[in-house]
Amino acid sequence: MEGDYVAQSVRVLSGHGFTPDNAIACVGVCRDEITQPLVERVKKAWGEAFNFSSLAGMLFLGKTGFSAAEHHAPDEEGRERYVFFALPHIAVHEDGQIGVCRRAGRQELSSACGALLALQRELAGGRVKFGLDMDDLEQSLIRMRLLAEIRYGEVPELLTLTKTTLKVIQADLKRMIELTVQSDRSDVAVFTGIQIHGPGANYIWPHLSYCTVRGQRYSLQF
């Protein structure tokens, strides 16, 4: 369950010197409102949370966004600590259908992640737009970033596309950390995975999770 996942993030990091008082949390999830319970849980467990979110959970805030978050970190005895959560999302209906969910107050079934489903429809239609669309910035960035990872002519299943998105998010997060974090005075924790909207509750499928403390990397177990 999502709550256990966040509680576990605090437990596993306490052994590496991270506490809610000496670290800043940053969360990148899709803008979809059904992702928000995770953000609320992170805020509750870690104090505040810097918002990294874009459609599909992609990290488009760039060096400026990362640097801003890092300038907000507490600096206990000259060390700063960042805890990054970065997760795309997918719905799973009670009958097992992937990508389908119910939303409070809506009668018909809904879907998630809508941005990835839109890309999938475009691929299936055989006509893919290209370039940066100023009227649809985030979706055009998703398209450009993900097409580099999809074999030409392929139309991935939603689960495959979500895993590809996770891989891209992990790579982009790693690159942004390398570009913006001063490793000699900063410790970093990374939690990635897929947020799953199941019947009546959100779940987390944990994937790559680690922390780097004084230059030493440790894998974090769930």
Q: Could you tell me the smallest distance in angstroms from the CB atom of residue 161 to Zn ion?
A: 12
Give backbone dihedrals phi and psi of 137, rounded to 5 degrees, phi first.
-55, -55
Q: How many CB atoms lie within 10 A of CB 217?
A: 10
30 vs 181 by CB, closer to Zn ion: 30
Q: Is residue 195 within the footprint of Zn ion (CB under 5 A)?
A: no
Instruction: Pick the closest to residue 59 from 195, 135, 145, 172 (CA basis).
Output: 172
Nearer to Zn ion, 14 or 97 (CB): 97
Max alpha carbon distance in the chain (Å)?
56
- Which CB atom, from 17 or from 114, has the smaller least distance to Zn ion? 114
Among 23, 24, 30, 177, binds Zn ion (CB under 5 A): 30
Beta carbon nearer to Zn ion, 7 or 150 = 150
**Which secondary-structure segment (H or E) carries 85?**
strand 79-86
Rounded to whole angstroms, how far apart are CA atoms 16 and 56? 30
Q: Taking CB under 5 A as the rule, which mask of x and - marks residues 75-114 in contact with Zn ion?
A: --------------------------------------x-
Burial-class residue 198 by CB neighbours within 10 Å (0-12, 13-18, 19+).
Answer: middle
> Where on the chain is the footprint of Zn ion (CB under 5 A)?
30, 32, 113
